């Protein structure tokens, strides 16, 4: 409406007001690309500085032991300087843009007034009309520049959106396609020609894995460090999709069953698993609001940690500290094992879950787990643990794997003679 009234009052003065707004729009357009680039760089640098800082906090002890604090601090300071430097440059650009746009609006107002005054002198415009015109021109230009400003801000927000897109656009875990009663699923796993590599063009970590694991069977996965044991465990857990082939449970591809359903059947301790800040009972029951104390103690006994927990001043209410910092590594592993068993899984998957234990405690756990009526798949290095399995799968990279049947597994005997149910 302002524009219409302005046109009616004086088309030539309206042209000046429109030219000023056009010049502002052109300036915004010219400054958009460098400002956007500066903001994008700022976000990347700030993210780098943040992760460096968090990583330093997490590794403060090894850092101190290796006397690297000073060097680490210098690196962090350099990153911080980069962030501040980028921020200052962005602010400078911003300042430059604000000054230029103030010059445009100021210059346009001055020009309008001079031209308006000339028209008043020529009697083509009255003083009152000039006053009214400049008021309408002010409203018009402030509305249009605000609109342009908001449009640019909206576009700039897209930058944050792009940084979140990697997470937000990640495909959701597929939902179950089959209606299944979890109780009826037998924990027998089949690997159909599984192959895996972390990216196209990279070497195959696993290939031609084609075997079955029967319900109740105990399997050991062995191989040198870096051969892909943990990778295979992650595939079996459904955490990594195989590049080739598929994993089936009781004849159903796990993708069809739905990962969340499949994972309800599994109790797992992965390599470098960690506890959460809270009490031991909260950790074992995974913060379930109504946990079963009896079941928890039975699981802790199986994991050979019950007595040690009882000897702590606060027993099961003892706080484990952030990531389990107040427990020894071996205690942490046993609490993690108790947590995996508390789920009452049909499948127990352990990746070096007893690597920090002394031989005696490991033996106690092996003997306590052996008679449990569940399928066990574990990565192990110690000969004693491997010998307890019924079959051993030795990974062989691109060549697949070799499978050995253990002639006298102590676990299988116990399991076959008298299968026991999970601790209740």
Ligand X SMILES: Nc1ncnc2c1ncn2[C@@H]1O[C@H](COP(=O)(O)OP(=O)(O)OP(=O)(O)O)[C@@H](O)[C@H]1O
Binding site for Mg ion (CB under 5 A): 229-230, 271
CB 224 to ligand X: min, Å: 7
Interaction of residue 254 with ligand X, rule CB under 6 A: no
The nearer residue to ligand X, 128 or 203, going by C-beta atoms, is 203
Q: Give the ranges where 291-409 is alpha helix by DSSP (H).
A: 293-302, 306-310, 329-342, 359-369, 383-387
The nearer residue to ligand X, 171 or 202, going by C-beta atoms, is 202
Q: Measure CA 41 to chain center.
A: 22
**Distance, CA of 8 to CA of 6 (rounded, Å):** 5
Binding residue for ligand X, selected from 14, 31, 230, 354, defined by CB under 6 A: 230
The nearer residue to ligand X, 20 or 206, going by C-beta atoms, is 206
Q: Which does 267 bind (CB under 5 to 8 A by kind): Mg ion, ligand X, none?
A: none
Binding residue for ligand X, selected from 10, 119, 231, 331, defined by CB under 6 A: 231
Neighbours of 137 (CB within 10 A): 27
Q: Which does 396 bind (CB under 5 to 8 A by kind): Mg ion, ligand X, none?
A: none
CB 312 to ligand X: min, Å: 31
Tokens of 305: 């940690």
CB 48 to ligand X: min, Å: 19
Interaction of residue 14 with ligand X, rule CB under 6 A: no
CB 203 to ligand X: min, Å: 8
The nearer residue to Mg ion, 227 or 320, going by C-beta atoms, is 227
Neighbours of 290 (CB within 10 A): 5
Closest residue to Mg ion, judged by C-beta, is: 230
Judged by CB under 6 A, how many residues of this single chain contact ligand X? 11
Torsion angle of C-alpha atoms 49, 55, 60, 65, degrees rounded to 10: -100
Which residues are CB-contacts of 308 (< 8 A; sequence separation ≥ 6)? Answer: 331, 334
In degrees rounded to 5, what are phi and psi of residue 180? -140, 140
The nearer residue to Mg ion, 218 or 230, going by C-beta atoms, is 230
CB 341, CB 302: distance < 8 Å: yes
Closest residue to ligand X, judged by C-beta, is: 230
DSSP 98-148: HHHHHHHHHHHHHHHHHHHHHHHHTTSS-HHHHHHHHHHHHHHHHHHHHHH
Q: Measure CA 210 to chain center.
A: 31
DSSP 175-240: PP-S---GGG----EEEEEEEE-SSTTSPPSEEEEEEEE-TT-EEEEE-STTSSHHHHHHHHTTSS
The nearer residue to ligand X, 137 or 206, going by C-beta atoms, is 206
**Distance, CA of 283 to CA of 276 (rounded, Å):** 7
CB 198 to ligand X: min, Å: 4
CB 185 to ligand X: min, Å: 27
Binding residue for ligand X, selected from 57, 62, 181, 225, defined by CB under 6 A: 225
Interface stretch with ligand X, choices 3-11, 222-230, 248-256, 406-414 (CB under 6 A): 222-230
Q: Which does 205 bind (CB under 5 to 8 A by kind): ligand X, Mg ion, none?
A: ligand X
The nearer residue to ligand X, 198 or 404, going by C-beta atoms, is 198
Nearest to 112 by CA among 14, 26, 9: 14
The footprint of ligand X on residues 268-307 (CB under 6 A) is 271
Q: Which does 404 bind (CB under 5 to 8 A by kind): ligand X, Mg ion, none?
A: none
Tokens of 167: 């997470």
CB 423 to ligand X: min, Å: 29
The nearer residue to ligand X, 227 or 305, going by C-beta atoms, is 227
Interaction of residue 228 with ligand X, rule CB under 6 A: yes
Q: Which does 228 bind (CB under 5 to 8 A by kind): Mg ion, ligand X, none?
A: ligand X
Interaction of residue 243 with ligand X, rule CB under 6 A: no
CB 269 to Mg ion: min, Å: 12
**Distance, CA of 255 to CA of 246 (rounded, Å):** 9
Give just the sign of the alpha carbon dihedral 331, 332, 335, 341: negative
The footprint of ligand X on residues 192-221 (CB under 6 A) is 198, 205
**Distance, CA of 244 to CA of 242 (rounded, Å):** 5
**Which residues of the chain form contacts with ligand X (CB under 6 A)?**
198, 205, 223, 225-231, 271
């Amino acid at each position: 409406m302002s524009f219409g009234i302005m046109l009616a009052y004086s088309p030539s003065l309206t042209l000046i007001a429109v030219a000023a707004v056009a010049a502002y729009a052109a300036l915004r357009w010219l400054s958009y690309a460098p400002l956007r680039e500066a903001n994008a760089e700022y976000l990347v640098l700030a993210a780098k500085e943040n992760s460096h800082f968090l990583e330093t906090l997490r590794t403060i002890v090894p850092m101190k032991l290796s006397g690297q604090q000073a060097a680490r601090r210098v690196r962090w300071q350099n990153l911080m300087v980069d962030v501040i430097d980028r921020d200052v440059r962005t602010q400078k650009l911003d300042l430059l843009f604000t000054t230029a746009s103030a010059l445009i609006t100021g210059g346009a107002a001055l020009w309008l007034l001079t031209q308006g005054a000339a028209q008043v002198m020529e009697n083509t415009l009255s003083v009152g009309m000039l006053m009214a015109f400049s008021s309408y021109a002010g409203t018009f230009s402030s509305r249009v520049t605000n609109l342009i400003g908001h449009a640019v801000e909206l576009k700039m927000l897209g930058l944050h959106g792009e940084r979140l897109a990697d997470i937000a656009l990640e495909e959701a875990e597929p939902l179950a396609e089959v209606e299944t009663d979890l109780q009826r699923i037998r924990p027998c796993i089949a690997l159909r020609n599984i192959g895996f590599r972390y990216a196209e063009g990279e070497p195959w970590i696993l290939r031609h894995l084609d075997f079955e694991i029967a319900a109740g069977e105990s399997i050991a996965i062995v191989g040198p460090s870096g051969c892909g044991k943990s990778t295979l465990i992650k595939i079996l857990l459904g955490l990594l999709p195989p590049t080739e082939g598929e994993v089936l449970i009781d004849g159903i591809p796990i993708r069809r069953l739905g990962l969340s359903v499949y994972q309800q059947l599994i109790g797992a301790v992965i390599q470098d698993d960690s506890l959460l800040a809270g009490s031991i009972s909260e950790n074992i029951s995974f913060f379930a609001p109504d946990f079963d104390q009896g079941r928890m103690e039975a699981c802790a006994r199986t994991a050979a940690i019950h007595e040690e927990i009882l000897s702590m001043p606060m027993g099961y209410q003892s706080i484990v500290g952030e990531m389990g910092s107040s427990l020894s590594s071996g205690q942490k592993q046993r609490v993690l094992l108790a947590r995996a068993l508390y789920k009452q899984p049909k499948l127990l998957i352990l990746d070096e879950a007893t690597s920090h234990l002394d031989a005696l405690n490991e033996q106690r756990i092996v003997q306590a787990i052996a008679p449990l009526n569940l399928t066990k798949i574990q990565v192990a290095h110690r000969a004693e643990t491997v010998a307890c399995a019924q079959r051993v799968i030795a990974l062989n990279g691109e060549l697949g794997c070799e499978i050995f049947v253990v002639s006298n597994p102590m676990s299988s005997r116990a399991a076959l003679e008298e299968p026991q149910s999970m601790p209740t």
